[in-house]
């Protein structure tokens, strides 16, 4: 739909420009006039074809009936979330796809349907829009108080996320590249359920043996994932710099990016653990605290040594900008490491 609309606009502008050139063409230049008339005919035929195609899409795919179907789906999702809010803690166990479907449905109603089928003509449009605006806020009772919020204060009701470095709406290292793929593991939404975070903190605080086993498992997986990632980027750099074979296997790039994303995700898990239950690493009455802190420090040093040095292996591979390695950059992994270090320093100073 968008592509066809853009093509119609481009051909309409080209036809208008050609008509203006014909009007300015001197009578003595019949050769130029003939070529312009040929172009005019081509543009007019193409514009007519695209206009018919656009009209067919509007009449069949984006019809009024289809718009009502999407609107019905949007209202079903909103009512489901409202029901979850009325029966317990909002979003505690509400599947995420209800929110995704609601946001995609609203985006489709707003951006894809013809202006002739206005959203304002939909039954209960204003009430539905007010309810929809409350969905991403996830605060207790906000669906009910949203209509009373003063104009211009809507930003105050939005969450800012959890974890270090989540203040950006777009990651800085991807600003100059293609639009972000939100399915990348390193671009997961920064707001894990607060209820689940509390459950995790209580469980790790009460069961010391399980906490030590869990963190040892996370540290082992992180050590493996990051080591595999470093080994793969060594192979990728060698293949990229080899004169007789200057291409890299696509599958190898995907596996390498997956190892990097896994490393970032595990570092975020460690950051969340240090934030929720810092005593696991800092309470010396726990038999495993010193060992866990030492292992954590070794892994963080390994990551920093590999990632922060200028013009080292990691830096050279990042600068290659290979397709498939868009998520591999300094920012995602360094903010996770920084978040862990900052939290340990803050809690360590607080506990003396």
289-307 and 313-320 helices, crossing angle to 10°:
60
The backbone region for 138, taken as left when phi is positive above 0, alpha when psi lies in -120 to 50, beta otherwise, is left
Using one digit for the tens of pLDDT, what is the confidence trace for 256-270? 889 999 999 899 899
What is the pLDDT at residue 141?
Answer: 41
* Longest Cα–Cα distance in the chain: 99
Phi, psi for 314 (deg, rounded to 5): -60, -45
Residue 180 has pLDDT above 70, yes or no: no
Q: CA-CA distance, 23 to 33, in Å (whole number)?
A: 9
C-alpha pair distances (Å), 253 with each of 147, 229, 316: 49, 10, 15
What is the pLDDT at residue 214?
Answer: 92
Q: CA-CA distance, 64 to 60, in Å (whole number)?
A: 9
Q: CA-CA distance, 67 to 70, in Å (whole number)?
A: 5
Using one digit for the tens of pLDDT, what is the confidence trace for 312-323? 888 888 887 778
Q: Looking at residues 156-180, what average pLDDT do you find?
A: 51
Q: CA-CA distance, 263 to 237, in Å (whole number)?
A: 20
Could you tell me if 1 and 61 are in contact, meaning their C-beta atoms sit under 8 angstroms apart? Answer: yes
Could you tell me if 8 and 50 are in contact, meaning their C-beta atoms sit under 8 angstroms apart? Answer: yes
What percentage of residues in the chain have a pLDDT greater than 90? 15
Show the tokens assigned to 6.
């853009």
Q: Looking at residues 268-282, what average pLDDT do you find?
A: 90
What is the pLDDT at residue 217?
Answer: 93
Tokens 């505690």: give the residue: 92
Residues 6+ apart with CB under 8 A from 293: 281, 282
pTM: 0.53
What is the pLDDT at residue 58?
Answer: 73
Residue 89 has pLDDT above 70, yes or no: no
Residue 157 has pLDDT above 50, yes or no: no
What is the pLDDT at residue 215?
Answer: 92
Residue 339 has pLDDT above 50, yes or no: yes
Q: Which of 14-28, 61-75, 97-111, 185-199 has the lowest mean pLDDT?
A: 185-199
Residue 160 has pLDDT above 70, yes or no: no
Show the tokens assigned to 133.
């605006």
What is the pLDDT at residue 93?
Answer: 61
Q: CA-CA distance, 6 to 10, in Å (whole number)?
A: 6
């Amino acid at each position: 739909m968008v592509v066809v609309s853009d093509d119609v606009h481009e051909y309409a502008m080209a036809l208008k420009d050609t008509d203006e050139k014909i009007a300015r063409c001197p009578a003595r230049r019949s050769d130029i006039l003939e070529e312009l008339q040929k172009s005019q005919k081509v543009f007019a035929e193409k514009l007519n074809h695209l206009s018919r195609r656009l009209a067919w899409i509007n009449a069949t795919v984006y019809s009024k009936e289809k718009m009502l179907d999407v609107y019905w789906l949007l209202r079903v999702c909103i009512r489901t979330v409202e029901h979850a809010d009325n029966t317990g803690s909002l979003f505690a166990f509400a599947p995420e796809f209800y929110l995704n479907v609601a946001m995609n449905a609203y985006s489709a109603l707003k951006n894809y349907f013809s202006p002739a089928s206005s959203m304002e003509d939909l039954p209960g449009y204003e009430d539905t829009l007010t309810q929809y605006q409350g969905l991403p806020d996830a605060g207790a009772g906000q669906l009910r108080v949203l209509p009373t919020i003063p104009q211009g204060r809507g930003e105050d009701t939005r969450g800012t996320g959890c974890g270090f470095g989540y203040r950006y709406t777009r990651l800085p290292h991807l600003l100059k590249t293609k639009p972000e793929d939100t399915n990348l593991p390193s671009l997961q939404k920064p707001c894990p359920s607060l209820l689940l975070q509390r459950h995790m903190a209580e469980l790790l605080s009460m069961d010391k043996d399980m906490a030590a086993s869990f963190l040892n498992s996370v540290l082992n997986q992180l050590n493996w994932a990051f080591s595999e990632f470093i080994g793969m980027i060594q192979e990728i750099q060698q293949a990229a710099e080899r004169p007789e074979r200057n291409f890299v296997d696509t599958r190898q790039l995907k596996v390498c990016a997956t190892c990097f994303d896994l490393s970032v995700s595990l570092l975020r898990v460690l950051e969340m653990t240090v934030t929720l239950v810092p005593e696991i690493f800092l309470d010396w009455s726990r038999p495993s605290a010193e060992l866990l802190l030492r292992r954590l420090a070794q892994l963080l040093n390994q990551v920093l040594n590999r990632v922060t040095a200028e013009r080292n292996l990691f830096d050279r591979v990042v600068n290659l900008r290979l397709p498939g390695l868009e998520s591999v950059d300094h920012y995602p992994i360094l903010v996770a490491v920084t978040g862990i270090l900052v939290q340990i320093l803050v809690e360590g100073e607080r506990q003396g």
